[in-house]
Structure 1
Amino acid sequence: MGTHLHFDCFSGISGDMTLGALVDVGMPFRDLVGGLKRLGVSGFRLTKRRVHREALHATKVNVQITSAMRSPLSLRSIHKILSRSRLSERVKQQSRVVFDRLAESEGHAHRVPKAHVHFHEVSVLDSFVDIVGALIGCEALDVTRVTSSAVNVGSGTLQSAHGTLPVPGPAVADLSRGIPIYSAGPARELATPTGIALLRTLTTEFGAMPPIIPSAVGYGAGDAEPEGWPNVLRVLLARESLQRGRLHDMVVSIETNLDDLNPQIYEHIVERLFDRGALDVTLTPVIMKRGRPGIVLTCLAGQEHVERMLDIVFSDTTALGVRVQPVARQILPRRFVSVPIRGGTVRVKIGTVDRGTAKGVPEYADCKRIAVRTGRPVKVVMEEAAASYASFRRSGKVHA
């Protein structure tokens, strides 16, 4: 079923911290070294050692550059190296996404197209090792779900080739759009572009640690050793068994209180929200201030549809403010089967509870269509569809 990896970024995240944490939590170091040989890039050597960061024991993975590349590499050149490599297709694709994000952030910071961004001949080797190595590690640990805490980006200023910059630097700030970050601890940069780009690519849920039963905990050390601060990345590894095979995702809840809208308009608003990609829309009656009756409009949507939902709520209602917050969901694996009844066929949505157990719900729209065409009550059509599905299950034509 795979494993669940949780990043605890209380001291930020970087590429080498990620490598160290993955080795510390259980990835064999030889698998990391052997996996990176499939990249087809030379000029570096990996070492690891046990270190202390304040009161914590951690693993430090070092990348020693033995010979730098002859010239900076463009994003296109990096894609070619990845395509020619003997890495798995999954690692190749994820690596491309991480490098694309790094190039986009650097391009935004320097106001140039990402195709014109070039990776320095020394740092690109570090980037290859950190990015590809971390993805090899996740594959070796059979990671199928990744969650993360909010990311501590540090504070103060940092020195760069372009002068003094605020923390987080421009690239980290750009990569952090849409994920929770905060500032704490020593006055220094704690999160690097590579670390944030990896996190964005791997993680599906940011926030408080979800319920897990850890089987291993790992600590990856960073280079810096600020006094009184354990500069490590902590990861927790768990078998994906607590939720018994249920799927996980993050959606966004959009909610507003309304007490001065013509009730006839609600039907139109709900239809528009569903048409634009809403997962669910509800209207809840409430008593508001001064005893006024009102309605709480709640819409669930994927992150990619949030702006569409907000546009509709602000344009079609009297709302002046909207509450927006991420919501974690557990959902059953589902599929559709079609069953025959009098007057046509009805799709039945099947949710798998566990091995051998499933529940099926006839699609209302299909039942309504048949009811209108045949003149029978919708309730009767739905009952007939449910009976047909049950018969199919007993016959073995439909499996849980």
Structure 2
Amino acid sequence: MKTVWLECATGISGDMTLGALIDAGVDRTAIDAAIASLNLPDVKLRIETVIKNGFRATHVLVDHPEQHAHRHYTDICRILDQATALTDRQRDLARRLFLAVAESEARVHGSTVDKVHFHEVGAVDSIVDIVGAAVGFDLLAADRIVCNFVPPGRGYVHIDHGICPVPAPGTAEILKGVPLADVPIEAELTTPTGAAIVKTLADAFGPMPAMTIEQVGYGAGTMTFPERANILRMFVGTESVAANTEFVTLLETNLDDVAGEVIGHTRQRLMDAKARDVYVTPIQMKKDRPGQMLSVLCSPADVDVMEQILFSETGTLGIRRSTIQRSIQHRDKVEVATPWGKVSGKRGWRTGSSPTFAPEFEECAALASEHSVPLRDIYRAAESAFLQLQNSGTLPAPTVAGSSPPDDHHHDHSHDHDSHSHDHDHDHDHDHRHDE
């Protein structure tokens, strides 16, 4: 499983992240093309190699004319919508990052997402950093992103509204739910952009996972500290998964104002989009309101698709995302003969265990209807036929190489939500600036 670990020893900002992505080998030409398609006049990405306290790193700078525009979220969306070099996934990720910033600023200033205007994050260099990071992470195509505890910094920072303690109010809103670390540096170490990136993208927070490192990217911050290298390190590699286990992503959202028919329709759309499983749990919400928790198990690669369906169909304001390591059975498809006709099903097995057989419901139901026999008789006949073939040795021996990936949406809905790693809410999008 392709894994990225972000080591934010001195915090994280948009330019540090973009520098680390490029240094780790992400195609710069694709990033340049995406930035050019934003149609921001005379904007150019400049890449420099710098030395920070003796360590080489990539420093990203944005050359652009002086401008004083204060953009709203709708202005940013228009810029993204007309950017022809962005893919839908990249555009959606960039929009989510900006929306997170807008939501945090709206809360801080007692306004709404549509009315609040961006300050630093609406500036050209911040727009470039966020779009570049969205493109870079999409091209990196990691299955899992882990980040160490995030140091916000100490002291005070000058913003458009005056002098504020670190973390600034907007950054603090974004960092809700993110574990923080105290690094004794009197500076703003994590900017709104950096906070948005880790809040939106990180599947877990903690030390480096057990992984084989393939690339290390070094992104330099602007500030220089006397005793610490102001560098964001990005480790890209392969995380080992134990035999008979795999990583999946669990998405959850609480609903109390959505009709049952809408939830059913949403469930079907999620299943059609290749969710591993979708289920609904009755819950008690704030002020004793009855509600439903809609849960989705999916491949980490399908998270963006699943979240888009959940947001568009339910109107939810937030989706919790967590990575789960679960035990699985290898599976393949076999066919058996019953007195009423052939039935296919899934053969499952684990190392050192006898195979099991689960007949396909649709085929059993069709035979039961056609021959006017109880469904359970078809099931029993199919299971008996499998055992006879298995005992006679006429079935091909199961092999891991020939198995299909686990498919959780057949009749056996056992939910293995074990081994949860850090769970956090991904309904915030995030604001950003970068003065590292």
Normalising by structure 1, what TM-score?
0.66
The answer to whether the 8 A contact 1:362-1:386 is kept is no
| Unaligned ranges ≥5, structure 1 | 253-273, 279-300, 305-325
Q: CA RMSD in A?
A: 4.5
1:4 aligns to 2:25 (yes or no): no
Report 1:269-348 matches (<5 A).
276=281, 328-330=324-326
Aligned-pair distance for 1:339?
Answer: 8.0
Residue 13 of structure 1: aligned partner: 12
Paired residue for 2:71?
73
Q: Letter of the 1:59 partner, please give it.
A: T
Q: Which runs of 5+ in 2 are unaligned?
A: 252-278, 284-293, 298-321, 369-373, 405-436
Give SS of 1:136's match: helix
Contact between 2:331 and 2:403, CA under 8 Å: does it hold in 1? no
Aligned to 1:257: none
Cα pair 2:36 2:43 within 8 Å, conserved: no
Instruction: Work out which structure has the larger RCO, using CA pairs closer than 8 Å and 6 or more positions apart in sequence.
Output: 2
Instruction: Please state which structure has a larger fraction of its residues in strand.
Output: 1
The alignment-based identity, stated in percent, is 29
Cα offset, 1:28, TM superposition:
4.0
CA distance in 2, matches of 1:245, 1:45: 49
Q: Which residue of 1 aligns with 2:203?
A: 204
Q: Map residues 110-125 of structure 1 onto 2, 5 A cutoff.
A: 110-120=109-119, 123-125=122-124
Residue 145 of structure 2: aligned partner = 146
- Map of 1:98 onto structure 2: 97
Q: Distance in 1 between matches of 2:33 and 2:244?
A: 32
Q: Distance in 2 between matches of 1:121 and 1:230?
A: 25
Cα-to-partner distance string for 1:213-271 (whole Å, 9 max, x where unaligned):
0111111111111221221111001146766996424669xxxxxxxxxxxxxxxxxxx
Distance 1:61 1:375 in 2: 66
> Structure 2 CA distance, aligned partners of 1:157 and 1:240?
39
How far, CA to CA, are the matches of 1:385 and 1:117 in structure 2? 67
Structure 2 match to 1:187: 186
Shift of 1:381: 7.9
TM-score computed with the length of structure 2 as normaliser: 0.61
Residue 57 of structure 1 corresponds to 56
Q: How far 1:181 sits from its partner (Å)?
A: 1.5
**CA deviation map 1:310-344 (0-9, x unaligned):** xxxxxxxxxxxxxxxx8742465999989897899
Deviation of the 1:93 alpha carbon: 0.8
Deviates more, 1:194-203 or 1:215-224: 194-203
Contact 2:331-2:348 within 8 A present in 1 as well: yes
Deviation, 1:207, is 2.0
Change (3 A) 1:10 1:331: farther
Report the residue type matching 1:73 in the other structure: R
Q: Using the alignment, how far apart are the partners of 1:155 and 1:36 within structure 2?
A: 33
**CA–CA separation in structure 2 for the residues paired with 1:13 and 1:85:** 26
